[in-house]
Amino acid sequence: MSENLIVELKEAKIYQQKTLILDQVNLKIHRGEFTYLIGKTGSGKSSLLKTLYGALPLKVGKGTVAGFDLNTLTRKTIPLLRRKLGIVFQDFNLLTDRNIQENLFFVLKATGWKDKAAMQKRIDTVLEKVGLTDKKAKMPYELSGGEQQRIVFARALLNQPDIIIADEPTGNLDPDTSDDILLLLKELAEEQNTAVFFATHDYRILENFPARIVRCQSGRILDEENFLV
Ligand X SMILES: Nc1ncnc2c1ncn2[C@@H]1O[C@H](COP(=O)(O)OP(=O)(O)OP(=O)(O)O)[C@@H](O)[C@H]1O
Sites of contact with Mg ion (CB under 5 A) = 45-46
**Site membership for ligand X, residue 44 (CB under 6 A):** yes
- One-letter identity of residue 43: S
Q: What is the total count of residues that contact ligand X (CB under 6 A)? A: 12
Query: Whole-angstrom Cα distance, residue 222 to residue 220?
Result: 6
Query: Whole-angstrom Cα distance, residue 87 to residue 181?
Result: 15
Q: Which is nearer to Mg ion, 92 or 105 (CB)?
A: 92
Residue 108 CA: distances (Å) to CA of 23, 116, 140: 37, 10, 18
Question: Any bridge partners for residue 196, and if so which?
Answer: 34, 164
**Site membership for ligand X, residue 16 (CB under 6 A):** yes
**Site membership for ligand X, residue 45 (CB under 6 A):** yes
State the minimum distance, in angstroms, from the CB of residue 5 to Mg ion.
25
State the minimum distance, in angstroms, from the CB of residue 39 to ligand X.
5
Q: How many Cβ atoms from other residues are within 10 Å of residue 30's Cβ?
A: 17
- Segment near ligand X (CB under 6 A); pick from 45-53, 128-136, 146-154, 218-226: 45-53
Q: Which is nearer to Mg ion, 47 or 103 (CB)?
A: 47
State the minimum distance, in angstroms, from the CB of residue 113 to Mg ion.
31
Alpha helix positions (H), the chain: 45-52, 77-83, 100-110, 116-129, 145-157, 175-192, 203-208
Binding site for ligand X (CB under 6 A): 16-17, 21, 39, 41-47, 216
